[in-house]
Amino acid sequence: MDWIKKNYEQAILIALAIILLAVSVLLILRVLDFQSVFAGIQGNVPQSKKIDPVEIEPIQQAQASVAQPSVWNPSTKSQLFVTERWVLDAGILKALAGGDKPINPPIPNDWFQTYDLELLDPDILTQDADRDGFTNLEEFQGGVGDNTGAKTTDPTKKESHPPYTTKLFLKEYKEIPFLITYKARPDKDTFQINIPGRRSQLVLIADAIVGGASGKTFKVLSHELKSFTKESGTEVDVSELTIEDQETGKKIILIYNQTVDSPDSYVILKFLWNDTDIRVAKDEVFKLKPDEETEYKMLEFTREQATIENLKTGEKLIIRKLQQ
Distance in angstroms (rounded) separating the CA atoms of residues 269 and 165: 11
Measure Cα distances from 248 to 95, 174, 218, 245 in Å.
66, 21, 10, 6
Residue of 202, 208, 232 lying closest to 220 (CA atoms): 208
Question: What rounded mean pLDDT belongs to the chain?
Answer: 85
% of residues, the chain, pLDDT over 90: 47
- pLDDT of the residue at 273: 95
pLDDT for residue 75 is more than 60: no
The least confident of 14-18, 140-144, 177-181, 308-312 is: 14-18
**Higher per-residue confidence, 306 vs 65:** 306
Q: Specify the pLDDT at position 210.
A: 81
Q: What is the pLDDT of residue 4?
A: 63
Which pLDDT tens digit goes with each residue over 191-249? Answer: 999 998 888 899 999 999 886 556 789 999 999 999 999 888 899 999 999 999 998 88
For residue 83, what pLDDT band results from cuts at 50, 70 and 90?
A: low
Q: Give the pLDDT confidence of 29-44 residue by residue, as tens digits.
A: 777 776 666 666 665 6
Rounded CA gap, 142 and 151, in Å? Answer: 5
Over residues 130-137, mean pLDDT: 94
CA angle in degrees (0–180, nearest 5) for 180-184-188: 120
